[in-house]
Amino acid sequence: MEKVKLSSPWQEFFNELEALFAADDDVKLSFDDGEEKKIILRVNGEEKASALSKLLPEEKVFGNVSVCIEVVPSNDGDREIDLFRDAFSGNPAVSFIKTVPDPYGNKVDFVVFQNKVVQFFNDNMADINGNKSTLFEDIARDVFDGAGVFFCTDTESKVIG
């Protein structure tokens, strides 16, 4: 006997969205069916992303289950990574800056720092001598809070300064 699998209404809604945009190379969908249900549309092109975010509801309610709908535009137009390239030009703390495509074809930006432990005076009682030991990556993450790039540490250890 063949088993019948029933889909939840929110899964059916995701399937409908997916069917609607299956042939559109500019729209990729993903569904997080965890405790907080979320449908994410990754959209190439600001105009299309803006239109979809205005047309689709931010939340779809199915009885006592809410599904968040998020439209994420690609990184077209003025690129924040170009600002990082300018800001870190000639800085020996940076190994390289690179943009790579993610599985959905969107651009993902990385600033990759030298593999070096940085130590500086930081009187916060975490170190008996008042020093802080960390990586450039961690400092950049604190300084550029909320930046649209990923900060990483190079795998190769290089001597600088």
Is the pLDDT reported for residue 77 higher than 60?
A: no
CA distances from 151 to 2, 11, 136 (A): 50, 35, 9
Ordered alpha helix ranges (H), 88-135: none
Tens digit of pLDDT for each residue in 102-118? 887 778 899 999 998 88
**CA angle 147-117-155, nearest 5°?**
75
Say how far apart CA 139 and CA 148 lie, in whole Å.
16
Tens digit of pLDDT for each residue in 23-51? 888 888 899 888 899 999 988 877 888 88
